Protein backbone atom coordinates (compact mmCIF):
# COMPACT_ATOMS: atom_id res chain seq x y z
CA UNK A 1 0.00 0.00 0.00
CA UNK A 2 1.37 3.37 -1.00
CA UNK A 3 0.58 6.72 0.50
CA UNK A 4 -1.90 8.77 -1.48
CA UNK A 5 -0.45 12.11 -0.35
CA UNK A 6 2.86 13.36 0.96
CA UNK A 7 2.61 15.49 4.10
CA UNK A 8 2.95 18.65 2.02
CA UNK A 9 0.28 17.56 -0.46
CA UNK A 10 -2.05 16.60 2.38
CA UNK A 11 -1.51 20.00 4.02
CA UNK A 12 -2.34 21.74 0.72
CA UNK A 13 -5.46 19.60 0.39
CA UNK A 14 -6.60 20.36 3.94
CA UNK A 15 -5.98 24.07 3.41
CA UNK A 16 -8.06 24.07 0.24
CA UNK A 17 -11.10 22.86 2.20
CA UNK A 18 -11.45 26.16 4.08
CA UNK A 19 -13.63 28.91 2.64
CA UNK A 20 -11.42 31.75 3.86
CA UNK A 21 -8.24 32.56 5.73
CA UNK A 22 -10.41 33.61 8.68
CA UNK A 23 -11.80 30.09 8.94
CA UNK A 24 -8.27 28.67 9.06
CA UNK A 25 -7.36 31.15 11.78
CA UNK A 26 -10.38 30.07 13.84
CA UNK A 27 -9.14 26.48 13.72
CA UNK A 28 -5.61 27.55 14.62
CA UNK A 29 -6.77 29.83 17.44
CA UNK A 30 -10.15 28.71 18.80
CA UNK A 31 -10.12 31.33 21.56
CA UNK A 32 -8.31 32.12 24.78
CA UNK A 33 -10.48 29.94 27.03
CA UNK A 34 -10.26 26.86 24.82
CA UNK A 35 -6.51 27.30 24.35
CA UNK A 36 -6.06 27.50 28.11
CA UNK A 37 -8.01 24.27 28.56
CA UNK A 38 -6.16 22.47 25.77
CA UNK A 39 -2.62 23.52 26.75
CA UNK A 40 -3.10 24.41 30.43
CA UNK A 41 -1.09 27.62 30.60
CA UNK A 42 -1.74 30.60 32.84
CA UNK A 43 0.46 33.39 31.48
CA UNK A 44 -1.22 35.16 28.55
CA UNK A 45 2.23 36.08 27.19
CA UNK A 46 2.58 32.42 26.19
CA UNK A 47 -0.44 32.56 23.87
CA UNK A 48 1.63 33.06 20.71
CA UNK A 49 3.89 30.15 21.65
CA UNK A 50 0.90 27.85 22.11
CA UNK A 51 -0.68 29.02 18.84
CA UNK A 52 2.54 27.88 17.15
CA UNK A 53 2.40 24.57 19.05
CA UNK A 54 -1.23 24.10 18.00
CA UNK A 55 -0.27 24.72 14.37
CA UNK A 56 2.44 22.08 14.59
CA UNK A 57 -0.02 19.69 16.24
CA UNK A 58 -2.58 20.27 13.49
CA UNK A 59 -0.14 19.49 10.66
CA UNK A 60 1.23 16.44 12.49
CA UNK A 61 4.77 17.68 13.03
CA UNK A 62 4.46 17.65 16.78
CA UNK A 63 2.16 15.30 18.66
CA UNK A 64 0.30 16.79 21.60
CA UNK A 65 1.18 15.05 24.85
**pLDDT tens-digit map of 10-39:** 888 888 888 998 998 898 899 999 999 989
42: confidence class by pLDDT, cuts 50, 70, 90: confident
Predicted TM-score (pTM) of this structure: 0.69
Query: Is position 57 within any domain?
Result: yes
Residue 59 lies in a domain: yes
Give the CA distances from residue 24 to residues 3, 16, 32, in Å, rounded to whole numbers and listed in that order: 25, 10, 16
Number of domains in the chain: 1
* Nearest residue to 54 via CA among 42, 22, 19, 31: 31
Question: Is the CB of residue 39 less than 8 Å from the CB of residue 55?
Answer: no
55 falls within a domain: yes
Q: Is residue 39 one of the residues assigned to a domain? A: yes
40 within some domain: yes
Residue 13 counted as domain residue: no
Q: Is 90 exceeded by the pLDDT of residue 48?
A: yes
Q: Give a yes or no: residue 5 inside a domain.
A: no
Overall average pLDDT of the 1-17 stretch: 81
Residue 6 domain-assigned (yes or no): no
**By residue range, what is the domain housing residue 53?**
20-65
Amino acid sequence: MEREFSKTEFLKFQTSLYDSVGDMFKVLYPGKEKMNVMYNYKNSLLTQYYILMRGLDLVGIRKKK
